[in-house]
Amino acid sequence: MDDLATRTGISKRTIYRYFRSKEEIIVAVMEDLMHGIEKDTRMAVEASEHPVDKITGAIGVVLRNIRQIQPLALHDVQKHFPQLWERVEQFRAEKIQQIFEELLAGDGQDCFRKVNPKIFTAALLACIRAVVNPNFIMENNLSPEETIRSLFDLFLNGITMEKTELNH
């Protein structure tokens, strides 16, 4: 709390006026981050007509937001706040499932190979849980951005008819 008060220039007393504990602060920060990602992802998906652009736009939103968080901070959330980490996992699973199932099922532009949307999203979510997690990222000396970009490049180019670059 001392470090937070010093960095923000706000007294601990003022911080405790709005938050009863460190856990409340961490929960508020993570919920704000998830809300922002949800809103910005929705806007990115709605801003484009082309299915691949919708996906790359959504991934770009995640990449811009993940840059703000150090892998060690996510590791601490995962380790010390398992209920919050489960909410993060549930949030990303719901959003990914929603976006990909809608796009794959409703691909009227023949951008994607004919794959079962349920199988694709289940495989993608399993890979995300295995690879886009603090332990894997730190053990393999990766950045969250590099990990996300590589994983989605693999999946996106595995389902598209032509090679598609992630430019976000």
CATH fold of 21-159 reads Tetracycline Repressor; domain 2 (1.10.357)
What separation in angstroms does the CA of 130 have from each of 125, 134, 151, 155, 168?
A: 9, 10, 11, 14, 23
Tokens 């652009």, residue located: 53
SS3 103: helix
SS3 112: strand
pLDDT tens-digit readout, 104-156? 777 667 777 788 888 888 999 999 999 999 999 999 999 999 999 999 888 88
Beta bridge partners of 97: none
Q: What are phi and psi of 132, to 5 degrees?
A: -90, 65
pLDDT tens-digit readout, 3-40? 878 888 898 889 889 999 889 999 999 999 999 999 99
Domain ranges of the chain: 21-159
